[in-house]
Structure 1
């Protein structure tokens, strides 16, 4: 799980228009940043070129690429994806508990709460690491 400090810097890599990580971020003259496609689409609908955040109007469409923000957004995207992979692999979808056991009867990983449920009451279990070793040896 990401710490609050990590979440705060990754929030800065979110486009205020599409609310997703920046893609090809650009800076306006006022200093606000947007995805190039987001601000372009926004301006196509309006007669005046203005910042969607501060409403400052611009006579020309000067979009400066923001490479630093692009790199940070890519790192934040990878951090988020890696965090999701780790969480989904290690935690029970029903109880959000760590998967520590392997139910030999159902042939699936379960948490300690699942072990005590009616569904698994009469089943046999082994630690998940032991199950991995057994199944690797069988291949």
Structure 2
């Protein structure tokens, strides 16, 4: 799922798949969806209705690609790609490959090939890996100079293991990756319930 980067992204987001439109079509009531998402919705439900406003259509509308919206979406995707800065492997010598993961313990980023030891060597398997990022120094505790591997739910901040023995002793802490996944799940569920009527929620969760 594409992450929301602002109001424009939300305007270009299908409320069924929660991703940027792919072959957008417009219903008679004026709402936009991915063509494949809307067809799937109507295929699994009796009758045809708008998943946003619930307006029911007496017969199945003939859906045409909204070419203007499709061009806007394509332009948005191109700008999004240009705005992304790739993170490259720190180990590759000649031709640098894109990094898949960054290791908080090693303070290095690795491509698929050079990441393998972290999945194979027992000592390295204990290291904390995150999605490849730049400026790994920002993920180091300035007080203890140790990786920020944990998230303190009491203070809503990232902490290292040494922090849990001091100022954050007895606080509720979880691995950063776990907190990140839970927040993504909460945001996705909230968006679904805010944007999609009850009938559509039943389809998605059933």
**TM-score (normalizing by structure 1):** 0.58
Unaligned 5+ segments in structure 1 are: 1-5, 97-112, 119-139
One of 114, 132, 138 as aligned partner of 1:95: 138
SS of the equivalent of 1:26 reads strand
What CA distance in whole angstroms lies between the structure 2 residues aligned with 1:48 and 1:94? 56
* Residues 72-108 of structure 1 deviation map (CA, whole Å, 9 limit, x = unaligned): 111122222222226x479314517xxxxxxxxxxxx
Unaligned 5+ segments in structure 2 are: 89-132, 147-206
After superposition, the Cα gap between the structure-2 partners of 1:14 and 1:94, relative to the gap in structure 1 and judged at 3 Å, is farther
Q: Which residue matches 2:85?
A: 85
Higher relative contact order by CA 8 Å / sep ≥ 6: 1 or 2? 1
Q: Compare CA radii of gyration and give the structure with the larger one.
A: 1
Once the two structures are TM-superposed, the CA of residue 45 in structure 1 deviates from its matched residue by 0.6
- Alignment pair present for 1:68 and 2:68: yes
Aligned residues: 96
Q: Which residue matches 2:7?
A: 8
- Structure number with the higher helix fraction is 1
Give runs of ≥4 in structure 1 deviating > 6 Å: none
**TM-score (normalizing by structure 2):** 0.40
CA RMSD of aligned residues (A): 2.9
